[in-house]
């Protein structure tokens, strides 16, 4: 019986990978190196498999990028849906959004990398859809807090702008490092919540 585990075969090459494996590896590489760093050869080295194996699943880099972006957007949509249905007050949901987005997670690093290429015809529409969906969620939460539609939308834009700006500052090490043992970081995040989330 053939072993289905990703063990070494045929001169050290790893077992056949799925398209999802390539897509996830592509997202990780984008997070580390940006869009320009995405290539078939570096991905093959990362996955410890021959470059030729890639072409069993994708005609080329462009098709891989499109599939990886679709995977990332679907994951983001699912996470947002969970946040939308969370059984907690809107102020708490918004506060949790600020705490979550201040962490150096893979999805935030991917988003920052994609924001650097808004004119790319493959990337631009994805960024617009993801951004619009997130802002719509934030605006809805602010409306639940009692703001009218226009005010809620403006506050959501402001909070989201703070998030994007924070990612850029974080990448340049210009804001406190995230971590439960860093009081400066906690003070910084609490200030954002008090300034942008709390509705008086």
DSSP string, 142-173: HHHTT--HHHHHHHHHHHHHHHHHHHHHHHTT
8: enclosing H helix or E strand: strand 8-9
| pLDDT at residue 12, as a whole number | 42
Q: In this structure, are 195 and 150 located in the same domain? A: yes
* Confidence band, pLDDT 50/70/90 cuts, at residue 21: very high
133 is in which domain, residue-wise? 86-200
Does 81 fall in a domain?
no
Does 162 fall in a domain?
yes
Report the CATH number that the domain containing residue 150 is assigned in CATH: 1.10.357
- Rounded Cα gap, residues 33 and 15, in angstroms: 26
Does 77 fall in a domain?
no
What is the residue-averaged pLDDT of the chain? 88
pLDDT beyond 60 at 9: no
Please state, for a pLDDT cut of 90, what percent of the chain lies above it. 64
Which of 23, 41, 68 is the last residue in one of the domains?
A: 68
Q: In this structure, are 150 and 97 located in the same domain? A: yes
DSSP, res 18 = P
* Confidence band, pLDDT 50/70/90 cuts, at residue 6: very low
Q: Greater confidence, 160 or 84?
A: 160
* Confidence band, pLDDT 50/70/90 cuts, at residue 15: low
Does 9 fall in a domain?
no
| pLDDT at residue 121, as a whole number | 94
pLDDT beyond 80 at 3: no
Average pLDDT rounded to a whole number, residues 169-196: 88
pTM of the model: 0.85
Dihedral sign of CA atoms 151, 137, 97, 83 in order: positive
Q: In this structure, are 34 and 113 located in the same domain? A: no
Q: In this structure, are 51 and 92 located in the same domain? A: no
60-80 tens-digit pLDDT:
999 999 999 999 999 999 988
Q: In this structure, are 198 and 159 located in the same domain? A: yes
Domain total for the chain? 2
108-148 tens-digit pLDDT:
899 999 999 999 999 999 999 999 999 999 999 999 999 99
Report the CATH number that the domain containing residue 31 is assigned in CATH: 1.10.10.60
Alpha-carbon distances, residue 69 vs 43, 127, 180, 185 (angstroms)? 16, 10, 31, 31
- Rounded Cα gap, residues 197 and 14, in angstroms: 49
Q: In this structure, are 111 and 195 located in the same domain? A: yes
Q: In this structure, are 135 and 108 located in the same domain? A: yes
């Amino acid at each position: 019986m053939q072993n289905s585990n990703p063990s070494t075969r045929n001169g050290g090459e790893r077992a056949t990978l799925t398209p999802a494996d390539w897509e996830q590896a592509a997202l990780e590489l984008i997070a580390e190196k940006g869009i320009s760093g995405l290539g078939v050869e570096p991905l093959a080295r990362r996955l410890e498999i021959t470059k030729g194996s890639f072409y069993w699943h994708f005609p080329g880099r462009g098709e891989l990028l499109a599939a990886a972006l679709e995977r990332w957007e679907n994951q983001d949509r699912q996470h947002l849906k969970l946040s939308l249905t969370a059984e907690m007050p809107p102020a708490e949901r918004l506060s949790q959004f600020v705490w979550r987005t201040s962490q150096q997670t893979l999805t935030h690093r991917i988003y920052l990398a994609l924001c650097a290429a808004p004119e790319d015809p493959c990337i631009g529409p994805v960024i617009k859809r993801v951004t619009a969906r997130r802002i719509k969620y934030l605006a809805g939460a602010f409306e639940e807090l009692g703001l009218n539609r226009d005010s809620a939308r403006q506050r959501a834009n402001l909070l989201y702008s703070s998030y994007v700006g924070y990612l850029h500052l974080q990448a340049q090490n210009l804001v406190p490092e995230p971590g439960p043992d860093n009081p400066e970081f906690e003070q910084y995040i609490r200030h954002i919540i008090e300034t942008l989330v709390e509705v008086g």
